[in-house]
Amino acid sequence: MEYFTLNNGYKMPMAGIGTFMITPADTEVAVESALRNGVRLIDTANAYMNESATGRGIRNSGVPREEIFLVSKLWPTVYEKETAVDEMLARLGTDYVDVLFLHQPTDNWREGYKNIEKAVREGKVRSIGLSNFSEEEVQEAIDTMYIKPQLVQVEAHPYYPQTELKKLLAKTGMGLMAWYPLGHGDRTLMQQPVFTELAARYGKSNAQIILRWHVQSGNVIFPGSRNPDHIRDNFDIFDFELTDEDMAKIAEVDNGTRYYNADPALLAQYKTMELGPDL
């Protein structure tokens, strides 16, 4: 495993498992299996409605909590709720999370950020993240918040490598967690000739080449899967290294394509969009 050092000194694994769009029952099994197979970064969220299942998977694995880098996200409906962090920790069955993100940049995000700052001071949160925030919003948090953010979590892949945002992050030592790291499973991206060529050369799959590109680009990845074999394959990327020439060829794939564009009307609704039960 390779690690990224956050700007507050904490080290996080550069590869983990995500739980987005995985049922609670499958989440519990996937988290336990991943941890038993050496994975140490787990990503969940209020909105995934599987924080409790994530906690059960952690406990079932037998892996000590201090060996696990646990990430979750607050949903906008609880940004201003004083007990939101405590309720999240209760669902997860832990005393702290390693990173807590604001999940969406709704207009009450500043109040949510201050609540997370309070949780940091109380030892309930170690690092602060911003999910789906624009460069301008990230810059505002850097400029105006007492505790500066450590991470952003955004869509990033070879078609859309977040070049401009990463210039800003480099100035502050912030890290990037990439969701849709494989381009939302887009076969056109996955089957680009450069990935097929490199996969043949290194004896890897196209997906493993893309995930290795992420790590060498400094991106933390957390592809979701319920399949133990896929989970193992996603982590079989630390026994080889792409050359500078390889990385330059992959850079040519960038065409500005992204798979998620925030709808301003939907974003406004997130403040009142209640979540279902966490099971």
For residues 11-39, average pLDDT: 96
What is the residue type of 97? V
DSSP string spanning the chain?
A: --EEE-TTS-EEESB-EE-TT--HHHHHHHHHHHHHTT--EEE--GGGT-HHHHHHHHHHHT--GGG-EEEEEE-GGGTT-TTHHHHHHHHHT-S-EEEEEE-S--TTHHHHHHHHHHHHHTTSEEEEEEES--HHHHHHHHHH-SSPP-EEEEE-BTTB--HHHHHHHHHHT-EEEEESTTSTT-HHHHT-HHHHHHHHHHT--HHHHHHHHHHHTTEEE--B-S-HHHHHHHTTTSS----HHHHHHHHTT-----S----HHHHHHTTT-------
Kindly report the length of the chain: 279
- SS3 for 6-46 is CCCCCEEECECEECCCCCHHHHHHHHHHHHHCCCCEEECCH
Q: State what percent of residues in the chain have pLDDT above 70.
A: 100
Burial classification of residue 166, based on how many CB atoms lie within 10 Å of its CB (0-12 exposed, 13-18 middle, 19 or more buried): buried
Average pLDDT, the chain: 96
Reported as a pLDDT band with limits 50, 70 and 90, residue 65 is: very high
Question: 119-157: per-residue pLDDT in tens?
Answer: 999 999 999 999 999 999 999 999 999 999 999 999 999
Q: Of 10-14, 60-64, 258-262, where does mean pLDDT reach its minimum? A: 258-262
pLDDT at 69: 98
Reported as a pLDDT band with limits 50, 70 and 90, residue 174 is: very high
pTM listed for this prediction: 0.95
48 is catalytic: yes
pLDDT at 227: 82
Question: 181-237: per-residue pLDDT in tens?
Answer: 999 889 999 999 999 999 999 999 999 999 999 999 999 999 887 788 888 889 999
| Residue 238 reports pLDDT greater than 90 | yes
Reported as a pLDDT band with limits 50, 70 and 90, residue 264 is: confident
Which residue's entry shows tokens 């798979």? 259
Domain boundaries, the chain: 14-269
Which residue's entry shows tokens 């995930």? 211
pLDDT at 64: 98
Q: How many CB atoms lie within 10 A of CB 136?
A: 9
User: β-strand 17-18 against 41-43: which pairing, if any?
Assistant: parallel
| Residue 261 reports pLDDT greater than 90 | no
pLDDT at 161: 97
CATH number 3.20.20.100 given to 14-269: yes
| Residue 74 reports pLDDT greater than 90 | yes
Q: State what percent of residues in the chain have pLDDT above 90.
A: 90
| Residue 247 reports pLDDT greater than 90 | yes
Catalytic residue among 48, 79, 160, 270: 48
- Which of 138, 164, 136, 163 is CA-nearest to residue 150? 138
